[in-house]
Chain A
Amino acid sequence: MTTLNIDIKEEQRKAQAEVEKQGLRVLVCCGTGCMANGSLNVIKKFEELGANVSILGDYEKLTIVPTGCHGFCEQGVLVIIPQTHTAYVKVKPEDVEEIVESHIKGGKPVERLLYTDPKTNQKVQKSEDINFYAKQTRTALANCGHINAESLDEAIAVRGYEALANVLKENNPDAVIDTIVKSGLRGRGGGGFPTGLKWKFTAANRGGKSYVVCNGDEGDPGAFMDRSVMEGDPHKLLEGIAIAAFAIGADEAYIYVRAEYPLAIQRLRKAIKDAEERHFLGKNIMGSEFNLEIHIKEGAGAFVCGEETALMASIEGERGMPRPKPPFPANKGLFGRPTLINNVETLANVPVIMLKGADWFASMGTETSKGTKTFALTGEVNNTGLIEVPMGTTLREIVFDIGGGIRGGKKFKAVQIGGPSGGCLTEEHLDIPMDYDNLTKAGAMVGSGGLVVMAEDTCIVEVARFFMNFTQNESCGKCVPCREGTKNMLKILEKIVAGKGEMSDLDLLEELAVAVKDGSLCGLGKTAPNPVLSTLKYFKDEYISHIKDKKCPAGVCTAMKKIVINPELCRGCTKCARTCPVGAIEGELKQVHKINQDKCIKCEACLNGCPFKAIGKE
């Protein structure tokens, strides 16, 4: 046992009293999504109007709290008044006056700014009743959107640094590792390796210099959970890193963040500074013997740096190229020293596990995958945003309940899960419980948790080409199977999409896919063929229609698209001929018009403008 010079419970009481003094809290989402929709102007307006407000109920004053991401990015700017259980969506600066006058002064919520359920068309006042939130269980994201991301006090008020204080007091690193092992937590960055084991392996080399590295290089296009944690609850991440460092005996840590996330970098920097000032980080943390210095390293835009050995090379200032393992980072990592690398979401789960216990965490999820997982739900779905659900939730619950179904009443086609390393899941997978093992069995992977929903009008072959283009661009070029294999797979896919494919290409594509998968050095190459393999498995028909019939069933692939005018509907108004940017439409006034296919660039400008809906795609 170690005696600490900071009584965390006392700090918590003080911080809670400070939050209490804020009176009525108006939470305005300041995640990247809502900021883009103008949340800073909403705050400005509130501050202008809020100064001389007589407050609703018993609250003496009003405090505008800029928070991290609430997750429901589609509906931004989100304004939540938790004490009156009200969530406002799509708030604009000009709506603020009405909220202040009607709700805050008058006690009457502004109905028109409440969320409308797309299924029932009913207004929903409480955020916990909105389907998007009702089905979620938030652990890593628990505080995101509920606290001021830039205030250490608010983090402490919701039990921030309590787990670290307990761990330091007990002073038993092995017990910490045992708890993490028992919780069943697995790496949230993609691979799903048991976190506790990784800690154990690294801790076996205690004694000399070692490091903790937090992987915040969230490179998967379509995933933004790590960004939300870093922006919305930076202290939770720092606490997780500190507990990990204590457990493995490290005194220095790096957080590797993508340069594309300037807000996350800024908030983390502030959080580190604030925590150091209060001795929650730095030398002799809370009066114990434990020291920890945390640095931020900005990435510079390379997907391969998500791979741990490449990431370490990048921190060392080199090109981010992976190297063969072993030696594993646990033995020989950053600057040649034992290194523990965990992803942001993984580390954000650590403080909660230490507080609530391994059994609590293990009670959620499935047999092999415990706890909750965040998913970035995007694409052709009504409610896009960031969600967190227990492992084992089905795709149907996510897409149709939380996501509110497909946009514009279109038909569900597939979900691409796990980004460019993952695969696609179709209608037949809607009811399987999603966890690491079930998804691997289905030919996909949890990956970082990007879920891109695709509807009937998304071309699967084009999507496969898109991912292959991405991985080919991001291949670092070190090993031949990945460098040359992805290039040639891309060539074949481009050929098929251009309507020049042959049936033999499909066999070649599959053969190459297997070679790249088996022969590549690192995770990037080993998983790059996944989108192709899984689309070939579930949507072979679509490949075949591109090749044999020279048709794109979804009507997406430009080379196979033909824009035509229906002579029965055309009235010869000349509008299309005037709209066409390349002069491809010919015809006299009041005569049926015709599109010259040689000139047509398939921009669809005419299609959208025709008053008689006479123009269509063939």
Chain B
Amino acid sequence: MSVESHQKIDTMKLDSIMAQYNYDKANLIAILQAVQAEFKYLPEDAIIYIGTKIEGLSPATVYGVATFYAQFSLEPKGKYEIKCCDGTACHVRGSMPVLNAIKSRLKLKDGQMTTDDGMFSVETVSCLGACGLAPVVVINEKVYPQMTSDAVKIVLDTLMSEGK
């Protein structure tokens, strides 16, 4: 890890989060959730810092936990976090055409999650429990029910013009 990147991470913030959870390793998941809420992702330096500061943990263990759970991202997410539900109900009612429409509107290449300008990131999630409204797309906690490829494009266009 370079000295330069170490300076970028706000260790004061990390310490205050860990203090909130008593530096207890049983609270590791909650700590990582709080860190991700703060930084929008889990920076590598944060993982190392937490792993060295909490008793009974190592950076490798923290990394293991961070990569195990789907909620954690090691890469920065967009300003607008798009979650496209691909649970069974959504899948049967056509979530894949919606996802494809999102990707094509945002000009995302295969495997690319976040747009180049950092405005949008897209992921599929397995079920948001809003199956009665399938297919569902959630953007920054707001639920958009009964999406179609055309409707989702309108939603994205609106967000793009707001974002500018």
Contact = CB atoms under 8 A, between A and B. Distances in A.
B89 A384 contact: yes
20 contacts: A32-B143, A33-B130, A33-B145, A35-B143, A36-B130, A36-B136, A36-B144, A36-B145, A73-B132, A74-B132, A76-B132, A221-B90, A222-B87, A298-B30, A300-B32, A317-B28, A380-B93, A384-B131, A385-B132, A452-B88
A209 to B, nearest CB: 15
A452 B90 CA distance: 10
Kindly list the 10 A-B residue pairs having the minimum CB-CB distance in the complex, ordered from nearest. A73-B132, A221-B87, A301-B70, A36-B143, A300-B69, A378-B89, A221-B127, A224-B129, A317-B28, A222-B88
B88 A379 contact: yes
A378 B132 contact: yes
A463 B128 CA distance: 19
A458 interface: yes
B130 A319 contact: no
B159 interface: no
Contacts of A467: 88
A400 interface: no
A2 to B, nearest CB: 33
Given A222-B131, A261-B129, A378 B88 contact: yes
Given A219-B127, A298-B30, A384-B132, A466 B71 contact: no
B27 interface: yes
Nearest to B25: A317
B93 A320 contact: no
Interface string B52-86: 00000000010011001111100000000000001
Given A37-B145, A301-B70, 18 more contacts: A32-B143, A36-B144, A219-B127, A227-B129, A259-B71, A298-B29, A298-B30, A299-B69, A302-B70, A317-B28, A319-B65, A379-B134, A380-B93, A450-B88, A450-B131, A470-B126, A474-B126, A476-B68
B69 to A, nearest CB: 4
A260 B88 contact: no
Chain A interface extent, by class:
35 or more
Interface string A289-327: 000000001111111000000000011111110000000
Contacts of B4: none
B74 to A, nearest CB: 14
Contacts of A357: none
A301 B129 contact: no
A319 B127 contact: no
A165 B145 CA distance: 42
A454 interface: yes
A221 B126 contact: yes
A32 B88 contact: no
A454 B92 CA distance: 8
Interface in A409-463: 416, 419-420, 450, 452, 454, 458, 463
Contact of B92 (A73, A259, A335, A380): A380
B129 A218 contact: yes
A376 interface: yes
A65 interface: no
A73 B89 contact: no
B91 A33 contact: no
A415 B64 CA distance: 38
A354 interface: no
Contacts of B17: none
Contacts of B141: 262
Interface residues of B, number: 40
Contacts, number: 138
Contacts of A72: 132
Nearest to A469: B86
B29 A419 contact: no
A219 B126 contact: yes
B33 interface: yes
A385 B30 CA distance: 32
A316 B131 contact: no
Given A36-B136, A463-B92, A222 B144 contact: no
A320 B87 contact: no
Interface in B14-58: 24-30, 32-33
Contact of B131 (A315, A317, A378, A454): A378
B152 interface: no
B133 interface: yes
A220 interface: yes
A87 interface: no
B156 interface: no
A224 B131 contact: yes
A223 interface: yes
| Interface-centre pick from A221, A227, A261, A302 (highest chain B CB count, 10 A) | A221
Nearest to A226: B129
A226 to B, nearest CB: 9
Contact of A224 (B27, B72, B130, B145): B130
Contact of A222 (B29, B72, B127): B127
Interface string A327-341: 000000001000000
A220 B132 CA distance: 15
Given A37-B145, A301-B71, A450-B88, A379 B132 contact: no
Given A36-B136, A302-B69, A419 B88 contact: yes
Nearest to A302: B69
Contacts of B125: 260, 301
Contacts of B32: 300
A29 to B, nearest CB: 11
A416 B88 contact: yes
A446 B32 CA distance: 35
A58 B127 CA distance: 45
Nearest to A385: B132
Contacts of A386: 132
A415 to B, nearest CB: 11
